[in-house]
Amino acid sequence: MRIGILGGTFDPIHRAHMAVALGVKREFALDKVLLMVAALPPHKTAEKTRAKLRFMMAKEAALGIDGIEACDMELKREGKSYTVDTLRQLSDIYAGAELFFVVGADMLKDFMSWYMPGEILKFASLIGVERGGEDEAAPFAAQIMGQLGGNVYISKQDEIALSSTDIRRRVFEAKPLLGDVAKGVGCLIYEHGLYMPEQILNIIRRLSRELSPERFKHSTSCAYEAVELAGRYGVDPEKARIAALLHDCVRFDYEKQVALANKYGILIPGSHALLHAALGSLYAKHEYGIEDEEILNAIARHTTGAENMTDLDKVVYLADKIEPQRSYSGIDELRIMAYNSLNGGVLLAMQNTIDHMKRKGHKVDAETERIRRAIQNKI
């Protein structure tokens, strides 16, 4: 068996990491590549994100990809983690396997100063990855092999101009991630409030206390999806993120919803499912301090929509229907439509709702039919 080891803090793991893993797997005919999540690398004194969460993100990134596997071996060891310790342990676990330790080609320059470099080469061959036309690693590879023996290979791959720092900045600024992280990774980032401004983190913390775990995950995944859609259609992504996070902020037990409705003096609709939208808008204003009317309207309109829906309203409405945690018949078609046409996505989602209600033998809300026709007439 031939096993590659790609180590990193993965804070967070992204498309460029996965491209390296898949590239060396293909080029060197590896049976698997382990994404070795670092606990506390010797050259770093602190970590920004808990190791457990970074491992969870690595698992999500590898999900469904043959021969790519997240590994938490280093997380289970105490103290600082050295490469030689990892390789020694792997050589015991995979007795007889051929190990390949993957690094950026620039790291070969300093390899001789690593902890026990000669021992590293006894356990594994090195693969130095050159990206974007770099051609400087060969002399260092030759020097390492000349002084220490072992094997050092060079892998040439296309450069992907992407870093974890860039991902963290984009999350902080509510910028879309555009597939640069796996959807599962994006959902984890939002669920745990990673890399977020304090205002957003406070909202997420409160939602986690007040909502059921399932409703909370739906809300944070909806926020992730809303930012992606906002980027696609030129909608303010910060407003989309807040509105999507809070769209279900009163989805606790119905008796409490009724009590709040009486407190705020709003009419209680005949359908239990319709109360939380208007009520949530008021709750977001009074309890979360949201004053932006566009955000509050998007919350109020996310269930049935409205005849005069803004693009922000439509983004939140659709994000609620297609966020990655959702799974139902027709959702794949709706997801495709949502990113091809904002109005087309809203209309298809509304039609799906109407068809579902009819199949269940439920009365379709007249307002939903009227709104759907109104939007159709505007296209």
Which tens digit of pLDDT belongs to each residue from 24-41?
Answer: 999 999 999 999 999 865
Q: Give the pLDDT of residue 265.
A: 86
DSSP states of 207-276 as a string? HHHHS-HHHHHHHHHHHHHHHHHHHHHT--HHHHHHHHHHTTTT-S-HHHHHHHHHHHT-PPPSSHHHHH
Q: Does one domain contain both 346 and 208?
A: yes
> Band of the pLDDT at 44, cuts 50, 70, 90?
low
Mean pLDDT, range 345-366, rounded to an integer: 82
- Spatial CB neighbours of 332, under 8 Å, sequence gap ≥ 6: none
Counting the structural domains of the chain, the total is 2
Rounded to 10 deg, the angle between the 213-233 and 311-322 helix axes is 130
**Is the separation of the CB atoms in 155 and 23 below 8 Å?**
yes
Q: Which domain holds residue 212?
A: 166-378
Q: Does one domain contain both 152 and 200?
A: no
| Domain-terminating residue out of 161, 185, 218 | 161
Whole-prediction pTM: 0.93
CA distance 170 to 14: 13
| Domain-terminating residue out of 137, 161, 185 | 161
Q: Does one domain contain both 114 and 250?
A: no
**The domain that contains 242 carries what CATH number?**
1.10.3210.10
In single-letter form, the type of residue at position 77 comes to: R
Q: Does one domain contain both 199 and 327?
A: yes
Q: Does one domain contain both 174 and 114?
A: no
Whether 337 shows a pLDDT value over 90: the answer reads yes
Q: Give the pLDDT of residue 169.
A: 98
- Spatial CB neighbours of 19, under 8 Å, sequence gap ≥ 6: 157, 158, 160
CA distance 276 to 226: 19
How would you list the strands of the sheet with 124-131, edge to edge?
A: 68-71, 32-37, 2-8, 98-104, 124-131, 152-157
Which tens digit of pLDDT belongs to each residue from 250-294?
Answer: 999 989 988 888 998 888 887 777 889 999 999 999 999 999 999
Please list, residue by residue across 304-340, b when 16 or more beta carbons sit within 10 angstroms of its beta carbon and e when fewer do: bbbeebebbbbbbbbbbbbbbbbeeeebeebbebbee
Which tens digit of pLDDT belongs to each residue from 309-336?
Answer: 999 999 999 999 999 999 999 999 999 9
Which phi-psi region, left, alpha or beta, contains residue 10 (left: φ > 0; alpha: ψ -120 to 50)? left
pLDDT: which is higher, 155 or 266:
155
- CA distances from residue 168 to 12, 56, 232 in whole angstroms, order as listed: 8, 17, 19
| Exposed / middle / buried, residue 358 (Cβ in 10 Å: 0-12, 13-18, 19+) | exposed
Q: Does one domain contain both 275 and 363?
A: yes
CA distance 156 to 358: 57
Q: Does one domain contain both 262 and 363?
A: yes
Q: Give the pLDDT of residue 203.
A: 98
Q: Does one domain contain both 313 and 332?
A: yes
Rounded to 10 deg, the angle between the 272-287 and 293-300 helix axes is 160
Whether 240 shows a pLDDT value over 60: the answer reads yes
**The domain that contains 109 carries what CATH number?**
3.40.50.620
Q: Does one domain contain both 155 and 189?
A: no
| Domain-terminating residue out of 141, 161, 181 | 161
Residue with tokens 């986690």: 208
Q: Does one domain contain both 46 and 138?
A: yes
Q: Does one domain contain both 290 and 194?
A: yes
Q: Give the pLDDT of residue 96.
A: 94
Q: Does one domain contain both 153 and 219?
A: no
> Band of the pLDDT at 370, cuts 50, 70, 90?
confident
CA distance 253 to 263: 16
